[in-house]
């Protein structure tokens, strides 16, 4: 597994954008914790993350490339627009998916909705420039503690990723879930 700093990402961003678009699985920082990521349109890459996490049916969230992408692919309504105004930030918005081709079917299987994030983090520029949603899910196996530094990365997860964008220990918590897809808004801590 290759470890990259912010300056290395800036220097090699075209190469990394291509690698992500082609389906490489990687670990990325966010405004909360470290996440496992891949091109959310690549069904094979999404399956690889499912296998790494041992999480085969539970939905994943995506890091949207922009608010425009969210508007184009998700149903928002007035309340959704209000929450969208709070982005970027430490929230995962659960929204009804109106464009089923916006993500691979195994990202959010079965229920017609999707979790979207737009973290308040410098890595946004990479996702925005790729122009594709990327899976973003905590970098840990089911039932294990989420990754906060390279010292506590699960060895099985580490074997399955090609690179990590590392910026030191994270002291955050997973994002807050705002469910706007199921009739009434619910706010949940993870």
The burial class, CB within 10 Å (0-12 / 13-18 / 19+), for 38 is buried
Query: Do residues 146 and 92 touch, judged by C-beta distance below 8 A?
Result: no
3-state secondary structure of 126: helix
- Class level of CATH domain 2-188: alpha beta
Domain segments of the chain as ranges: 2-188
Two tokens, residue 177: 């879930």
Task: Give per-residue pLDDT as tens, 88-144.
Answer: 999 999 999 999 899 999 998 877 889 999 999 999 999 999 999 999 999 988 888
Of residues 43, 56, 47, 63, the one with CA closest to residue 137 = 63
Which secondary-structure segment (H or E) carries 155?
Answer: helix 155-160
Neighbours of 158 (CB within 10 A): 15
Give the pTM: 0.91
- The strand pair at 113-117 and 91-97 is best described as antiparallel
| CA dist., res. 43 & res. 10, Å (int) | 27
Task: Give per-residue pLDDT as tens, 44-62.
Answer: 999 999 999 998 888 899 9
């Amino acid at each position: 597994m290759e470890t990259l700093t912010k300056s290395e990402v800036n220097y090699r961003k075209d190469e990394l954008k291509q690698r992500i678009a082609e389906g490489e699985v990687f670990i990325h920082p966010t405004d909360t914790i470290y996440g496992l990521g891949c091109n959310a349109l690549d069904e094979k890459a999404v399956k690889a993350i499912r296998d790494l996490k041992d999480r085969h049916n539970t939905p994943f969230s995506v890091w949207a490339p922009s608010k425009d992408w969210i508007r184009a692919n998700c149903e928002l309504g007035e309340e959704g627009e209000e929450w969208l105004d709070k982005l970027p930030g430490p929230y995962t918005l659960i929204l009804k998916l109106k464009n089923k081709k916006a993500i691979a079917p195994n990202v959010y299987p079965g229920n017609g909705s999707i979790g979207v994030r737009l973290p308040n983090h410098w890595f946004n520029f990479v996702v925005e420039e790729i122009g594709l949603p990327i899976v973003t899910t905590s970098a840990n196996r089911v039932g294990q503690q989420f990754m906060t530094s390279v010292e506590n990365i699960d060895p099985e997860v580490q074997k399955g990723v090609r690179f990590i964008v590392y910026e030191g220990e994270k002291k955050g918590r997973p994002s807050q879930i705002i469910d706007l897809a199921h009739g009434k808004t619910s706010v949940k801590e993870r």
